[in-house]
Amino acid sequence: MKRINTRFSLLFLFITLTFWNCETDFSLNGEYTVTPVVFGLLDQRDTTHIIKITKAFLGDGDNLVYAQNPDSNYFKQLDAQVIEHINGSPTGRTWQLKDSIIPNKDTDGIFYAPEQKVYVFYESDLDENAEYELIIDINEGQHQAKGITSLIWGVDIPNSIKLSGYTVFFNKPNPLSNEDYLRWNFDVFEGYGVGKYEHGLEIEWIEYYTDGTNQTYSHRGNFSSEEQADPSKPSTHRAVFDGIGFFQWVNSVVPEDDQVERRVMTNLTLRISAAHVDFNTYLQVSKPVTNIGQVKPTFSNIEGGIGLFSSRHIYTTSNLQLSKASRRELCQGQYTISKKFCSNYSTDFREPWYCP
């Protein structure tokens, strides 16, 4: 019996080792399927339209290593074009996409950087009444992907705000409490095809340094947002900019610098950003999962691939002015006094915070 048990044990050990040795020849990955990953947003105000097209990669190694290799993310042969349609029929206008290199991708991400390949076409006259179809041909007809989007149109703001020199009041003179800060609000006339709006500002300023040099900077920030109830039936909603929030924002984006002698704000721009309903859906499902069930939905409008081909519209109006009380608050107020702002408005020449 002892001999039989020994032989059985040796046989079991041989089978076990053989199984372990063969196991390394198996792959947990299935057969690779060509899958384009697309992201592109059209805006009729742009003249350069950028679409990113990469491929989903599959391998038995470390995916983080694959992500750092551009060859793992690009197709060897790709042909793409955008075709204009009105009422379902081609208008005859088409644009062939050309590959281009963007050199300034953030190097802190998972994917390769700082250079990345994108595909572009140039057009300053996209028709807001048209639809635009993206058709991608991969490896000379081996695989095709496509997507289609409409453009956003009809977004508008009151004419008074468009006037050069429109004045924004963010506070009462010499605010002593939070109640002395004001809210700037106005109606936004909604557009067709919109899912969500973001209401933002962009400030531009010049820094003058102690060595006699100067440098211009700008920064953008969003202050409120609103979803459109029905993309096919535009209405109106209120854009709200909180005064105290404005000065706190300036404090957070303008750095402290001992080499700065003074700063002058040179421009204030209103930015109303509208996301197409498909783009908004894509943003919503891309948020991190926070529910207990951890069920994460997916969204793509790319046939034959994954990702998004959609549109957005950014409405801007520049040369807004701060009221005199708000200019004083920027220069001497509790949130921004350390930023060394001064005013070059000629009407402020008698004020201690004036600088020619």
Q: What is the mean pLDDT of the chain?
A: 87
Specify the amino acid at residue 339.
Answer: K
Query: CA nearest 137: which of 305, 310, 301, 308?
Result: 305
User: How confident is the model at residue 297, as a pLDDT?
Assistant: 73
What's the pLDDT score for residue 16? 37
Dihedral angle, C-alpha 45, 312, 135, 70, nearest 10 °: 100
Q: What percent of the chain has pLDDT over 90?
A: 72
Over the range 152-182, which residues count as b (16 or more CB within 10 Å of their CB) and which as e? Answer: bbebbbeeeeeeeeeebebbbeebeeeeebb
Checking DSSP bridges between strand 167-168 and strand 321-322, what pairing results, if any?
parallel
Residue 161 confidence (pLDDT) above 50: yes
- pLDDT band, very low/low/confident/very high, at 286 (cuts 50, 70, 90): confident
Return the minimum-mean-pLDDT range out of 17-26, 164-173, 331-340: 17-26
**pLDDT tens string 296-307:** 678 999 999 999
Q: What is residue 272's predicted lDDT score, i.e. its pLDDT?
A: 97
Q: What is the pTM of this model?
A: 0.83
- CA 279, 281, 285 angle in degrees (round to 5)? 120
Residue 100 CB contacts under 8 Å (≥ 6 apart), including other chains: 50, 117, 118, 119, 120
Between 350 and 111, residue with greater pLDDT: 350
Percent residues over pLDDT 70 in the chain: 81
User: Contact 206/273 with Cβ under 8 angstroms?
Assistant: no
More confident of the two residues 292 and 346: 346
The pLDDT of residue 78 is above 70: yes
What was the pLDDT predicted at 180? Answer: 96
Q: What pLDDT score was predicted for residue 107?
A: 57
- The answer, yes or no, to whether residue 4 has pLDDT greater than 50, is no
205 has a pLDDT exceeding 80: yes
Mean pLDDT within 323-332: 98
Identify the residue with better confidence: 331 or 20.
331
- For residue 327, what is the enclosing H or E element? helix 324-332
For residue 71, pLDDT over 70 is answered with: no
Binning pLDDT at 50, 70 and 90, where does residue 290 land?
A: low
Mean pLDDT of 68-76: 70
Q: What is the mean pLDDT of residues 256-262?
A: 96
Q: What is the structure's pLDDT at 74?
A: 84
pLDDT at position 235 is: 98
More confident residue, 289 or 340: 340
Q: What is the distance between the alpha carbons of residues 317 and 246, in angstroms, rounded to a whole number?
A: 18
Of 79 and 19, the one with more pLDDT? 79
Digit-coded pLDDT (tens) for 219-234 = 999 999 999 999 999 9
11: pLDDT strictly greater than 70: no
The tens digit of pLDDT for each residue in 130-142 reads: 999 999 999 888 8
What local confidence, expressed as pLDDT, does residue 296 receive?
Answer: 66
52-68 per-position pLDDT tens digit: 999 875 545 544 544 55
